[in-house]
Amino acid sequence: RTGVMKLDDLKHIFKASNIGPMDSRGYIVNLLNKFEVALTWDSRTLLIPSLLPSEEDILMAQMYPGQFHPMVKVKVPLRSRGWAVRNKKLRFHQSLFCLGNQF
């Protein structure tokens, strides 16, 4: 519903099919990624772009509460510690760049 899905929920989607054991989960996830139906966010989470709320949906829900679909807050977990450290380094370098342009 919100565009964020746990990988463990794939077993519920394919439980009625004869795909086989969830050992094929990696293959299914690769296909979803390849065709950009769902994108792997981390080892436990898929993002489904077509189900993420658009900016317009969010703005309309804020402007007219109760008239549109209820406001859905999508919380995406931080990818990993390594990603956070790289992101901090990137922000640090960007701030140095901005300071250099101010003079």
Q: Is residue 88 part of a domain?
A: no
Q: Which of 49, 50, 41 shows the shortest CA–CA distance to 83? A: 41
Q: Is residue 70 part of a domain?
A: yes
Q: Is residue 101 part of a domain?
A: no
Structure tokens at 1: 């519903």
Residue 56's domain comprises 4-77
pTM score, whole prediction? 0.55
Q: Is residue 90 part of a domain?
A: no
pLDDT in tens, 42-83: 888 899 999 888 888 778 878 887 776 655 566 665 655 555
Domain count, the chain: 1
Q: Is residue 36 part of a domain?
A: yes
